[in-house]
Structure 1
Amino acid sequence: MTDSASLKALEKALRRPHLEDCCSAIVSLTNLLLTTPTPVLVNNVLLRLAEVFRMDETNHVRVWVLWACNASRDLLPVVHSRAEFLRRVVHVLGSNDDLARALTWRLLASIAVLIGDQSLDLGLQIRASKALMSSETTEVERHAVLYAMTEISKVDPQAFALLVPNCLEKIKDISTDDAVKLNLLKWLKHCDTRELASSSTFSSLVHFMASYPTTKFTCQAIHLLTHLTTHCTSPPTRLQMLQGLLHFVERDSRVLVIAAALRSLVCLTRTHVLHMAPELWPVIVQAVVSRLVDTTNVTVQFLGLHVLHQSMASIGIAHVDP
């Protein structure tokens, strides 16, 4: 049977009323794509799957379409009818079914490479903002939205940049679930750094870590702080950020937090950041040595020695540079 005949037979199976026939056809279509990934076939099959996703009323079939798109993710750049494909998928975000919307956000995360800079045209910023800020949004949908925002922001850092202030407010809200706070911090790391700087993210992070000092939250905030420090263009602010990291090395008693701060310093010593703050080198060395003297934890010891090694190399390079 030719690929065209196989496609017609499977499309016929998709229209059958029995759920098992439809799901079986989706699996077969996906296998056909993976074995014969011609551009025309990929485009036609994925458009058909998007239509099935749009029309499904049970969510069972949507789960299988999501699986199919994940399985054929490497083939997505071949799709040339992107606008139509996305239109069919995004249509489901208007559903009254929260699970259908959650599956749609999950699918959008899987096809982020197709969205590119079209998130604004698709209205994803507005839809994401409503979903995140609404008290009626279920946790399943909220986590799906955050996952999609993170994946799409990896392709286009400005996709949801305007939501940064709202997300900072959401983190500050004591009623926000802990897992949501962590996911918001993870997403912020992929946002446009200019927007993060203009939204006073650093001062907000300092406030969060002081008022909400759980270990997981603090470690994730340290990761974001490192990202901000690397891209910060203001010397005074960059110095404050570095001093903030040193605070956790010197003053915090939690092993996981100390290790996170030391890992951040290791990363920063490999960049240009510390070359622009030579006044901190003696302070860093003193802080790390003090911590090494005061700990028996092997991980902290290893990371501390790593920071010292990298710092010495940075200092040496700086002194020999003309």
Structure 2
Amino acid sequence: GLRSGKLGEQCEAVVRFPRLFQKYPFPILINSAFLKLADVFRVGNNFLRLCVLKVTQQSEKHLEKILNVDEFVKRVFSVIHSNDPVARAITLRMLGSMASIIPERKNAHHSIRQSLDSHDNVEVEAAIFAAANFSAQSKDFAAGICNKISEMIQGLATPVDLKLKLIPILQHMHHDASLASSSRQLLQQLVTSYPSTKMVIVTLHTFTLLAASSLVDIPKQIQLLLQYLKNDPRKAVKRLAIQDLKLLANKTPHTWSRENIQALCESALHTPYDSLKLGMLSVLSTLSGTIAIKQYFSSAPGTAATTARSFDLVKLAQECCYHNNRGIAAHGVRILTNISASCQEKDLLPLEQDAVFGLESLLVLCSQDDSPGAQATLITLTCMVKLVKCRPHLSQSVVESLLTQLQSAQDAARIHMCHCLAAIAMQLPVLADGMLGDLMDLYKLIGRSTTDKKQELLVSLATVIFVSSQKALSSEIKTVIKQQLENASNGWTAYRIARQASRMGNHDMARELYQSLLTQVASEHFYFWLNSLKEFSHAEQCLTGLQEDNYSSALSCIAEALKSYHKGIASLTVST
């Protein structure tokens, strides 16, 4: 271990500490371990120090459990006086990684300021890392270092690549209004003075993060980003502007004015690039699910109310619904769905049908997508569930289109569609009866197939069937499910279906499936575990048959349930 004379064994011992912390996250152990690591850092060579640094960074969440912080810092800090610039650089990074527990240590602040003036690039970069971390944690340090950072960024002697690393520190200058204002002025000068692509991208992104943290300048930042999106011809800058607009749309949608949304719509309508249009639509679809959409559709003072279809946002969404790019089409229908769900005005009601037609059209495309994490498919099905919840009168056509596409869809899409149908049936149980016939036919078809997704599909379809049957499975349905499981599935699939039956209240079916699995397990622990689940399911089934008007029957049901619960608890105890 650490006492070995071989460097390799010492390094191996050091890098095992994070796993030790995960297994035993106790303050007394973590305190002792970090003090030992600090000793290794103090007396070891640079490679060992680097290993200790990596361990500290990986175990950042455990740092607050160190009890002797002073002693730990003292041992680490002693290396800052070394003549080796690499050792000093590693120490600075170590201090930066510990900023959360020593935010106000003046000796650390002083060392970082000194190292920013070093002639060694490695040490300067380490000082920049430490300065960023301390600025995020300490108001005093941020206020003290701000002028120093400004001088270095504006200084002619500072290389451009170093300026690019210094600028992101300014995102942490949000501790008070004056500090944020001076940082914003500096960033405004930089974005004007240095028009190169890299400099504009770094400065704009820092600008956005500073505004998002300080909150007061967000409307100005949105306008600035929209200005760059509209006027700057460089695609890299446009992409950065879209990315930052998405960040602000997620964080503070209420700060978006009608003019901001209108400007974004115009840019999306006029751009010839699908990748940029997709990004802008992503921002608009995020905004369409928030309060910003109501602000957009509220008529401006002094103007007559306009029809819904004349709004640029609606035009854009309708145009994109049938786009050949699935991502663009998905965001188009999401915007229409959110408008239909959140805006109750009469002139917006015709958009409901537009949303349904767009969803049905996109569903046909997405049903042939076999990738398991298809984003367009997930957006489409989420929108269907939302639309049915907010507009129940549209549910019949949505369910019919889902059942139709379920027959011919790819397996990956079928799984998502089953989840969608289950969510709809949970919200509107009245629709459930109409689904059962189609679902049972498909269940038999899947049972005879040989696809890779067969097991997952059987579970998903069974879940929809359980939801649709509303806790009362007919004997015919039970027979079909058990028959397909016997022919086509493994024990794990049967267990998952039994678990879903328990969740949906079909305890009788769950009990039968658990019973069938008892003879298929490999150990006594599993046997008693399944037996306990079987007994619990039987107890729940007894309780579902309670009748208020039949006192003697109710007593016998409760007695039977209690007996099963006791048996289940006994089996569960044995299984552990």
* TM-score between both structures, scaled by the size of structure 2: 0.46
Aligned length: 296
Amino acid in the other structure paired with 1:113: S
Give the aligned partner of residue 93 of structure 1: 80
- CA offsets, 1:288-312, max 9 Å, x none? 3443344222231122224444556
- Candidates 180, 198, 222, aligned match of 2:204: 222
Q: CA deviation at 1:259?
A: 2.1
Q: Which has the higher contact order (CA 8 A, sep 6+)?
A: 1
Matched-pair contact (CA < 8 Å) for 2:152–2:158: yes
- Residue 113 of structure 2 corresponds to residue 129 of structure 1: yes
Tell me: CA distance 1:161–1:297, structure 2 relative to 1, closer, same or farther (3 Å).
farther
Q: Is 1:304 paired with 2:280?
A: yes
Distance in 1 between the 2:284 and 2:24 partners?
54
Alpha-carbon distance between aligned partners in 2 of 1:182 and 1:314, rounded to the nearest angstrom: 34
Q: Is the 1:268–1:274 contact (alpha carbons within 8 Å) kept by the matching residues of 2?
A: no
* Aligned residues of 1:164 and 1:199 also touching (Cα < 8 A): no
Candidates 110, 113, 133, aligned match of 1:151: 133
Q: Kindly indicate whether residue 184 of structure 2 is the aligned counterpart of residue 202 of structure 1.
A: yes
Give 1:43's aligned residue. 31
CA contact (8 A) 1:106 1:145 kept: yes
SS in 2 for 1:160: helix
Q: Does 2:254 align with 1:268?
A: no
| Residues in 1 aligned to 2:286 and 2:55: alpha-carbon distance in whole angstroms | 45
Cα separation, 2, equivalents of 1:181 and 1:113: 25
The separation in 2 between residues aligned to 1:261 and 1:290, in whole angstroms, is 15
Return the alpha-carbon distance in structure 2 between the equivalents of residues 83 and 110 of structure 1. Answer: 16
TM-score (norm 1): 0.77
What is the CA distance between 1:207 and its match in structure 2? 1.4
What is the distance in 1 between the residues matched to 2:34 and 2:97? 13
**Structure 1 unaligned regions, length at least 5:** 1-9
Q: Does residue 249 of the first structure (1) align with residue 237 of the second (2)?
A: no
Cα displacement (A) at 1:61: 2.2
Decide whether the 8 Å contact of 1:153 with 1:191 is kept in 2: yes
- Counterpart code for 1:126: H
Does the aligned pair in 2 maintain the 1:164–1:196 contact within 8 Å?
A: no
SS, match of residue 173 in structure 2? coil
Query: Counterpart of 2:147?
Result: 165
Matched, 1:62 2:49: yes
Contact 1:164 1:195 (8 Å CA) reproduced = no
Distance 1:178 1:91, change over 3 A: same
Mark the CA change 1:229 to 1:36 in structure 2 (over 3 Å): closer, same or farther.
closer
Q: 1:27 to 1:227 in 2, by over 3 A?
A: closer
SS in 2 for 1:114: coil
Q: Once the two structures are superposed, what CA deviation does each residue of 1:76-100 show, in whole Å capped at 9, x if it has no partner?
A: 2221001110111122112221100
In the alignment, the residues of structure 2 paired with residue 42 and residue 289 of structure 1 have an alpha-carbon distance, to the nearest angstrom, of 54
For the Cα contact (< 8 Å) 1:249–1:287, is it kept in 2?
Answer: no
Q: Once superposed, what is the RMSD of the aligned Cα atoms?
A: 3.1
CA distance in 1, matches of 2:19, 2:225: 50
* Pair 78,299 (structure 1): closer, same or farther in 2 beyond 3 Å: same
- How many Å separate the matches in 2 of 1:161 and 1:48? 34
Mean alpha-carbon deviation: is it higher for 249-258 or for 213-222?
213-222
Where do 5+ consecutive residues of structure 2 fail to align? 299-342, 344-576
- Once the two structures are overlaid, the 10-residue window that deviates more, 254-263 or 157-166, is 157-166
Q: Which amino acid letter does the alignment assign opposite residue 46 of structure 1?
A: F
Q: How many Å separate the matches in 2 of 1:147 and 1:65?
A: 17
Match of 1:292 in 2: 268
* Equivalent residue letter for 1:229: A
Matches within 5 A, 1:229-244: 229-231=211-213, 240-244=220-224
Q: Is the 8 A contact 2:170 2:210 kept in 1?
A: no
Instruction: Give the residue type in structure 1 aligned to 2:165.
Output: N
Q: Deviations over 1:111-161 (max 9, x none)?
A: 33332x3333xx2222212222x2x43221222222223334444455433
Counterpart residue number, 1:316:
294
Matched, 1:23 2:7: no
- Which residue identity is paired with 1:100? A
Mapped to 1, the partners of 2:17 and 2:234 lie a distance apart of 51
Distance 1:232 1:74, change over 3 A: closer
State which structure, 1 or 2, has the greater radius of gyration over its C-alpha atoms. Answer: 2
Q: Which residue of 2 aligns with 1:188?
A: 170
Deviation of residue 287 (structure 1)?
A: 3.2
Amino acid in the other structure paired with 2:109: Q
Distance across 2 between alignment mates of 1:242 and 1:30 = 42
Amino acid aligned to 2:40: V
Match of 2:161 among 152, 157, 179: 179
> CA 1:211–1:36 in structure 2 vs 1: closer, same or farther (change >3 Å)?
same
Over 3 Å counting, the alpha-carbon distance change for 1:90 and 1:295 in structure 2 is same
C-alpha spacing 1:293/1:131, structure 2 compared with 1 (3 Å): same
Amino acid at match of 1:50: A
